[in-house]
Structure 1
Amino acid sequence: VQLLRRQALAALETGLPVAVTLPRSADARRDALADLPLGLCDIADADEGLSASLRAAQAMLATNQSLGILLPDVPGIGVADIQAVLDRFLDLREARVTRGGRMGDDRPGTPLFLPHAIAIRFAGLTGDDGGRSVLRDEEVELVRFPDDRAVRDLDTPEAWAEWRRDSGTAR
């Protein structure tokens, strides 16, 4: 919950509109964000994982509005990192998928920004594939960071324990 709030605050510092997708049963997370100037979107089919969140996010877009995605379980990303990826996306005139990555490899990470024409294709996503099927054939611009901050995803209890140990963060 604290990490979700921290990520939401970082996203808000860009000055862009921010929306958070949450399962309907996520009362503690909703409460943690209640005082922030952002939109909340209930995900009825959250059991489908990231695809459900991406479908909901694209449905909220205005005409020709691009989409930025910041995952809450990638704790190394801060305001300056989000801004660096956003600045590159804007330099490219919002014409190419732009995302964080790590120097020395081509593994894409977060945050990511997508042109409207690509983001609206999330409407057809299913399962917990996330947006991989939509992004597979797209040219991606990586903004590479010198460490694993953009690609270190905490999807398992072991990953959380390792991150806590490495970062000196208590539970």
Structure 2
Amino acid sequence: MADIALLLAAGASSRMRGRDKLMELVDGTPLVARQAALAASVVPHVLVALPPAPHPRHAALDGLDVTRLSLPDSAEGMGGTLRGAVARLPADCTGLLLLLGDLPEITAEDLRAVLAARRTHPQARIWRGATEDGAPGHPILFAPDTFPDFARLSGDAGGQSVIARHRDHLHLVPLPGTRARRDLDTPEDWAAWRDMRSQTP
């Protein structure tokens, strides 16, 4: 088997006032499709956690070699999504690369950098993308021996308790700028980001 990427795309975009942030266009492509294609270009197996069908995010993934997951656990929040998804991983999965759906600046090079850190820092059990000044962000690679800890997750805290449990074996991977943490949660965030991009040579 090989590594598996999990794209978290089951959230409700509650701060977007009726718009879906994961369907916002980035270079002409819905963000959820961009993120899924990005993961598929680096990792051989990609799971995408989605709201129950029918939902526009499902159709946005048409043509991509990814596996759609609609998990009842997602109703609890991110912790439930992670618990349900990790429970479905095959026993021979060599690593779980966790990617948030709403980080529009993450690149394939960033994913590769986090994966490469496993070779350069093999003593770690979690390899986490960070800003260039060291603030922790995403993506995050989890070693298989952390997977049992996901069974304890609940609510919307995500995998923070898993990371805390293995904090002595956490390695941060600095990525350029702030793209490991730049998420866009409101229409104003999107407008400001697009304005910034339009002014960048």
Q: 1:120 to 1:34 in 2, by over 3 A?
A: farther
1:113 Cα deviation from its structure 2 partner: 0.4
Match of 2:87 in 1: 59
Instruction: Kindly indicate whether residue 118 of structure 2 is the aligned counterpart of residue 89 of structure 1.
Output: yes
Question: Does the CA-based 8 Å contact 1:94-1:115 persist in structure 2?
Answer: no
Distance 2:188 2:116 in 1: 34
Match of 1:49 in 2: 77
1:26 Cα deviation from its structure 2 partner: 5.5
Question: Does the CA-based 8 Å contact 1:21-1:56 persist in structure 2?
Answer: no
Residues 24-50 of structure 1 deviation map (CA, whole Å, 9 limit, x = unaligned): 146210111122111111122433221
Distance 1:56 1:166 in 2: 37
Alignment gaps of 5+ in structure 2: 1-22, 24-29
Residues 1-33 of structure 1 deviation map (CA, whole Å, 9 limit, x = unaligned): 201100111100114210101111462101111
Distance 1:77 1:85 in 2: 12
Alignment of 1:1-171 (within 5 A): 1=23, 2-25=30-53, 27-65=55-93, 66-93=95-122, 95-105=124-134, 107-138=135-166, 139-168=169-198
Question: Does the CA-based 8 Å contact 2:47-2:67 persist in structure 1?
Answer: yes
TM-score, L = length of structure 2: 0.75
Question: Does the CA-based 8 Å contact 2:73-2:83 persist in structure 1?
Answer: no
Paired positions, count: 168
Which runs of structure 1 show a deviation greater than 4 angstroms over 4 or more consecutive aligned residues? Answer: none
1:159 Cα deviation from its structure 2 partner: 2.9
Question: Does the CA-based 8 Å contact 2:78-2:157 persist in structure 1?
Answer: yes
Identity %: 38
Distance 1:26 1:120 in 2: 31
RMSD between aligned residues: 2.1
Question: Does the CA-based 8 Å contact 1:99-1:142 persist in structure 2?
Answer: yes
The letter for the 2-side match of 1:149 is: R
Distance 1:102 1:50 in 2: 22
TM-score, L = length of structure 1: 0.87
The letter for the 1-side match of 2:63 is: D
Question: Does the CA-based 8 Å contact 1:41-1:56 persist in structure 2?
Answer: no
1:104 Cα deviation from its structure 2 partner: 1.9
Alignment gaps of 5+ in structure 1: none
Distance 1:30 1:166 in 2: 30
Q: 1:124 to 1:157 in 2, by over 3 A?
A: farther
Distance 1:117 1:164 in 2: 40
